[in-house]
Amino acid sequence: MLETIVSDVKVELADNGSYSCGMADDSARVETDSGSESRELQVYLGGSPQHSFPSTSLEGGSGGPNYELYDELEKAMAEEDKSLREAFEESMRRREALKEAINARERKDFEEALARKAKEVENMSQQVDKITTDLCIALDERLSLRIKIANCNQMVQESEQNMLFAVEQLEKYKMEQDDLQEPPSNMITPLYFSLHEIERAIGNFDPSMKIGQGVYGPVYRGFLRHTQVAIKTLTSQNMQGRSVFQQEVHILSKLRHPNLVTLIGSCPDACIIIYEYLPNGSLEDRLSCRDKSTPLSWKTRIRIAAELCSVLIFLHSDSIVHGDLKPDNILLDANYVCKLSDFGICRVVNRNEESSSVTIPRGTFGYTDPDFAETGELNPKSDVYSFGVILLRLLTGNKPAVGLAAEMQEALEDERLIDVLDPTVEDWPFVQAQQLAYLAMRCCKRNPTSRPDLASEVWRLLEPMRAACDISSFQVSSEENRQTPSYFICPIVQDIMRDPHVAADGYTYELEALTEWLDGGHNTSPMTNLQLPHCNVVPNHALRSAIQEWQQLQQR
């Protein structure tokens, strides 16, 4: 419409030649939503329209100016201008909306992409953590493998050294075994018993005949060839058990001492050893008053300590270390004379080398020398430690061996020895008990070199104590009071000794008979037929006093 009006106006004004209208040209392109339509308009912009009216045309003419048409034109142009502005503003709003929509879409896509990237980064971080953890584990495993390899190499080296050491030990043990296995003429050959004979003697291993339990098997009481005996069996006949059996038979076949258990015979096929039967059981049984037995008197305890010291001196003089001293291995005969048994783990110290034997530590916890447990070096001082613990048990009674030395040390420091002495024993002589306690503590020193010597120190203290003991302390009944104790009899002349003396073999003999034996050119023991280390003799004052007191009792 606007174009039509403009066209008409231009024609009319041209005809009149008196009016001209100029417009600034501008171009506006309106795009539809689809972007397919466009049109170009002549737009009036910037203030009021510019008109050029010649003075002649406004003032005169045949018809005069057409103001209505002009107003209509101006109005149309204003409307057109308004619509163009509205269309332009709408276009701008749409453009902004489209731009915002595009930005929102792009922002959403960007946020989604960013979220995906963040997820990927998180997954990658987790993978990195897992890889790092796996790497650390792998490094730890590699380090562990390297340590294991190093340990294996060290174990191989140690094994090689142990093999060399084992070879040396085998050679040493062979020397020890050769030392133990003297020619048959110098040994007392034990009797041979068949397994059938032994089974018949103990009722086919009847549990009611069982009197004890050893490390390798039970001990039974039975009758063999009209003699009451103790039968020690071996349940598990492994290599170690057989070695223990053979060693014990060899040791007890070679040695004889009043305080060593007597070997009667053996059954090699079944690894069974037959000993003399000792009716009063073990020292452990008596200290714990097993079967409600009467507690040992203090005199009997002192005598047992002296006898144990005597047999240890004898063993050590022959380079034999027991290695497993404890009350269970100290047996008591009818007169409560102690008999040392169980030589399964004893060792012979090579006289040509240092005075110790390296072996696998064995024994009983609480009695075993701690130095032997740590180093494996078994020597006579190891027996001294165990002897000290046994002294403490004789003083305190049924107290456990573990920690007993510390308890006694504390009691001595606090001057309350009487509190730890066995309460079942009456009239403990305090002076002797204190002397024994201090002696036991010296024997239990941690450092082996600080422990006393049995022959020169311990025996010197125990021998006078034993001599002072009343013979009645080891008599148990009026009937036994009329029997002559076996250790009163001289092994040579088989008569009661008047002047007993201890020879180098550890046995006590009548001095006159022993002198005749030595003067007759003999340099061997009358009991074992082994060569004596020396020909010196020591008076056994304790035994002499005991014999005299016993003879006085017989005359009453």
Any idea what DSSP says for residue 456?
Answer: I
- 127-160 pLDDT, tens digit each: 898 898 989 998 989 898 899 898 888 888 888 8
Rg of the chain, C-alpha, whole Å:
60
Provide the angle, in degrees to the nearest 10, between the axes of the packed helices 404-413 and 430-443: 130
Tell me the pLDDT band of 185, cut-offs 50, 70 and 90: very low
pLDDT of residue 33: 40
- 217-274 pLDDT, tens digit each: 889 999 888 888 999 988 765 666 677 788 888 888 888 888 999 888 888 888 899 9
- Residues 134, 178, 291, 324: which is the catalytic one? 324
179 is catalytic: no
- 8 Å CB contact between 224 and 198: yes
355-375 in b/e form (b: 16+ CB < 10 A) is ebbbbebbbbeebbbebbeee
The residue assigned the tokens 């059981």 is: 281
The amino acid sitting at 343 is F
Separation between Cα atoms, residue 228 and residue 336, nearest integer Å:
18
Any idea what DSSP says for residue 130?
Answer: H
State whether the Cα torsion 229-266-284-508 is positive or negative: positive
Q: What is the pTM of this model?
A: 0.55
Tell me the pLDDT band of 165, cut-offs 50, 70 and 90: confident
- 391-450 pLDDT, tens digit each: 999 999 988 888 999 999 999 999 899 999 999 987 888 888 988 999 999 999 999 999
Any idea what DSSP says for residue 291?
Answer: G
Instruction: Tell me which residue of 336, 294, 319 sits closest to 425, measured CA to CA.
Output: 294
- CATH for 486-555 is 3.30.40.10
Separation between Cα atoms, residue 302 and residue 400, nearest integer Å:
20
How far, CA to CA in Å, does 539 sit from each of 310, 453, 496, 525? 13, 19, 15, 17
3-state secondary structure 227-256: EEEEEECCCCCCHHHHHHHHHHHHHHHHCC
CB atoms within 10 A of CB 386: 27
Cα three-residue angle 289-279-394, rounded to 5 degrees? 40
Instruction: Tell me which residue of 355, 315, 525 sits closest to 449, measured CA to CA.
Output: 355
- What does the pLDDT average to over 74-103? 87
Burial class (CB in 10 A: 0-12, 13-18, 19+), 315: buried
Instruction: Tell me which residue of 465, 536, 543 sits closest to 498, measured CA to CA.
Output: 543
Q: Are strands 320-321 and 227-232 parallel, antiparallel or unpaired?
A: unpaired
Give the domain ranges of the chain. Answer: 99-176, 189-277, 284-477, 486-555
Which has more confidence, 296 or 166? 296
- CATH for 189-277 is 3.30.200.20
Tell me the pLDDT band of 40, cut-offs 50, 70 and 90: very low
Any idea what DSSP says for residue 260?
Answer: B
- 8 Å CB contact between 451 and 443: yes
Superfamily name with CATH number, domain 284-477:
Transferase(Phosphotransferase) domain 1 (1.10.510.10)
Percent of the chain with pLDDT over 90: 21
- 8 Å CB contact between 435 and 380: no
Backbone φ/ψ region at 363: left (φ over 0), alpha (ψ -120 to 50), beta: left
